[in-house]
Amino acid sequence: MSEVRVRFAPSPTGALHVGSARTALFNWLFARNQGGKFVLRIEDTDLARSTQESVEGILEGMRWLGLDWDEGPGADAGEYGPYFQSQRLELYQKYIDLLLEQDKAYLCYCTADELDAMRKEQMAKGEAPKYNRKCACLSADDREKFAAEGRTAVVRFRSTDEGRTKVADLIRGDVYFDNEVLDDFVIRKSDGMPTYNFAVVIDDALMRITHVIRGEDHLSNTPRQIQVYEALGFAAPEFAHIPMILGPDKTKLSKRHGATSVTQYREDGFLPEAIMNYLALLGWSYNATQNIFSRDELVEKFSLAKCTKNPAVFDIKKLEWMNGVYLRELSAAELTQRAVPLLIAAGLIDKAEAEAQEERIKTIMAALQTRLHSLVDVVDSSRYFFTDDFTYDEKAVKKFLGRPYAVKLFGLLLTGLEAVESWSQESIEAVFKSVQQELDEKLGNVIQPVRVAVTGGTVSPGMYEVLELLDKELSLKRLRKGLEMAQQQAKQE
Ligand code: GLU
């Protein structure tokens, strides 16, 4: 068996879409599972729509997900480069010339208007639109005449009407296409650029790709590509078309359904390991029960045999759940490392503070960790540790700071806590316990108003821990504010 070589071949016309990332992932997993090579090829022959920015976005997204490529941009030491189609034009031309010489392709001078009229006529007759082969048998004189008229030619592949083309798909089984319906498709456009269906064959053949794993939306292109392989005498690779990804309403996943670019998920606080795990389950399943797979486990267990034929539904709730699982598994140090850039971006701390307070931030992160659903949650849920500029939940203020004993509570706590010399959870707890006894209230009734005064809301890590982390000065400041708010509530009663 020759070495497995697969490729991911994005067109750089936009951000890295989650569907493309899933295709990249399946190729990467297959390569790593098989000990083969993963090639990244940029299909940038659509000059009008391809941008450098998209190329960079795609590479960055792949790096973020940890999908490293053995050959491709930045790794073109191999013998199969260059890996940008725009740098391979001579190669395509060479094979186009060969097909023209062998009369397996021909020049077509039909204009867009003529083709349009032809299509309309066919449709009016109830026929399926298809190139009518008007230029299939032009003489040299005809060609000269057309050229003299200023017409530019495209090159069309001469396909056959007889028989069927079989796609032996590794996921979908044998799929047959009637050759009758495949027309003489364009392989070189009038601007000299090869079309996708042609360039992809030349590249996959010359790059020795053994398995083409791509979205099912390309299945209908495959018989055309197989005919080109045959015409050029190239051995065709194996094909595996993976199912489409749909939104919850069962239509193709698009912006209407929410974020579709990998970068957006990154910005929304998703961890790359969660995205990788989740994408792996869109069209592949190991068994009916296991959902969480580490990167190594995916590599070990992935197989095309376990890819499914049915479309996969993108379920953001499940992704969010999975993200929470991965977030909670991070060590405090790892979580801190990922959270600090977000805290800095939100203006809660600066770089110097991040360094100086590293241990404190680590403790804060560890305290918050069980409640996080997404990495960006760290900003909102830790805000009160870094600034007084947070919002108070009005309802909570009314409910807890409006309690009849609230003014007294804050007064007693302030007196008790002001006297504390060594600020620790234990000494704070002792004050709370004595105030609780004096008020003869349940502990929860003592803690909750304090929580609202100190954090703005009703959910936070343990109160003694929060106060310890805030330090004495800041804690007292917040409690004084709590006292004021309680007095205000009492006046309003
Ligand atoms: N450039 C094509 C795309 O992005 C590649 C399809 C293929 O894998 O053959 O859809």
Contacts of 444-451 with C-beta under 8 Å, sequence gap 24+, read 445/403, 445/405, 446/409, 448/400, 449/400, 449/401, 449/403, 449/406, 449/409, 449/410, 449/482, 449/486, 450/409, 450/410, 450/413, 450/479, 450/482, 451/400
Are the CB atoms for 345 and 378 separated by under 8 Å? no
Question: How many angstroms separate the alpha carbon of residue 10 from the centre of ligand 1?
Answer: 6
Question: Closest ligand 1 atom, CA of 221?
Answer: 9
Q: Is the pLDDT of residue 78 over 70?
A: yes
Preceding peptide of 82 cis, ω within 30°: yes
Q: What is the pLDDT of residue 301?
A: 98
- pLDDT value, residue 1: 59
> In 3-state terms, the chain is what percent helix, strand and coil (to 5)?
55, 10, 35
Pocket test for ligand 1, best of 20, 43, 213 (most atoms within 8 A of CB): 43
Ligand 1 close to Cβ of residue 408 (< 6 A):
no
Contact 446, 410 (CB under 8 A): no
- 266-315: pLDDT as tens digits: 988 899 999 999 999 999 999 999 999 999 999 999 999 999 999 999 99
Least confident of 305-314, 366-375, 428-437: 366-375
Residues 6+ apart with CB under 8 A from 461: 367, 368, 371
CB-CB contact of 188 with 96 (8 Å): yes
Taking a C-beta distance cutoff of 8 angstroms, is the pair 86, 44 a contact?
yes
CA of 84 to the centre of ligand 1 (A): 13
Please count the residues of the chain: 493
**Which residues are CB-contacts of 72 (< 8 A; sequence separation ≥ 6)?**
39, 40, 41, 42, 83
pLDDT at 26: 98
Percent pLDDT > 70 in the chain is: 100
Q: Which pLDDT score, from 0 to 100, does residue 79 have?
A: 84
The pLDDT-based confidence of 371 (bands split at 50, 70, 90) is confident
214 lines ligand 1 (CB under 6 A): yes
- Amino acid type, 322: M
Nearest ligand 1 atom to alpha carbon 20: 4
Encode pLDDT of 318-367 as tens digits: 999 999 999 999 999 999 999 999 999 999 999 999 999 999 999 999 99
Place of tokens 């069209």: 283
What distances in angstroms separate CA 112 from CA 117, 118, 186, 212, 353, one per listed residue? 9, 10, 13, 33, 64
Query: Residue 487 and residue 403: Cα distance in Å, rounded?
Result: 10
pLDDT of residue 198: 98
Query: Is the CB of 9 inside a 6 Å radius of any atom of ligand 1?
Result: yes
**Residue 218, ligand 1, Cβ within 6 A:** yes
Average pLDDT, the chain: 96
pLDDT at 199 over 90: yes
pLDDT over 70 at 244, yes or no: yes
Residue 391: C-alpha distances to residues 59, 156, 395, 397, 452 (Å): 39, 66, 12, 11, 10
Average pLDDT over residues 401-424: 97
Q: Is the pLDDT of residue 234 over 80?
A: yes
**Which of 218, 224, 229 for a ligand 1 pocket mutation test, highest count of atoms within 8 Å of Cβ?**
218
Q: Which residue has the tokens 């343990």?
A: 462
Q: Is the CB of 219 under 6 A from ligand 1?
A: no
**Contact criterion met (CB below 8 Å) for 214 and 170:** no
Q: Is 201 in the pocket of ligand 1 (CB under 6 A)?
A: no
And the tokens for 104?
A: 């397996």
Query: Ligand 1 centroid vs 316 CA: distance in angstroms?
Result: 25
The residue whose CA is least distant from atom 5 of ligand 1 is 9
For residue 351, count CB atoms less than 10 angstroms from its CB and return exposed for 0-12, middle for 13-18, buried for 19 or more: exposed
pLDDT given for residue 237 in this prediction: 98
The number of the ligand 1 atom at minimal distance from the alpha carbon of 215 is 8
User: Which amino acid makes up residue 247?
Assistant: G
Ligand 1 pocket test, candidate residues 200, 207, 225, most atoms within 8 A of CB = 200
Region 103-119 average pLDDT: 97
Q: Where do we find the tokens 């186009």?
A: 96
What is the CA(99)–ligand 1 centre distance, in A?
Answer: 23
Catalytic residue (one of 252, 255, 318, 442): 255
CA 158 to chain centre: 39
Question: Has residue 129 got a pLDDT over 80?
Answer: yes
- Give the per-residue pLDDT at 207: 97
* For range 226-243, the mean pLDDT: 98
Number of Cβ within a 10 Å radius of residue 215: 17
**Residue 255 among the catalytic residues:** yes
Evaluate: CB of 10 within 6 angstroms of ligand 1.
Answer: yes
Looking at the CA of residue 43, tell me the nearest atom of ligand 1.
Answer: 1
Asked if 209 contacts 237 with a C-beta cutoff of 8 angstroms, the reply is yes
Per the CB < 8 A criterion, the answer to whether 425 and 440 are in contact is no
Q: What pTM, to 2 d.p., does this model score?
A: 0.89
Distance 229 CA to ligand 1 centre (A): 17
Give pLDDT tens digits for 449-467. Answer: 999 999 999 999 999 999 9
Q: Which amino acid is at 339?
A: A
Confidence of residue 387 (pLDDT cuts 50, 70, 90): very high
Answer whether 270's CB lies under 8 Å from 278's CB: no
| Segment holding 54, helix H or strand E | helix 52-65
Kindly state the helix (H) or strand (E) to which residue 174 belongs, with its residue range. strand 173-178
Of 30-34, 73-77, 189-193, the poorest mean pLDDT is in 73-77
Distance separating alpha carbons of residues 439 and 443, to the nearest angstrom: 10
Q: Which of 214, 224, 239 to mutate to test the pocket of ligand 1 (most atoms within 8 A of CB)?
A: 214
Nearest atom in ligand 1 to 204's CA: 9
pLDDT at 31 over 90: yes
Does position 3 have pLDDT exceeding 80, yes or no? yes
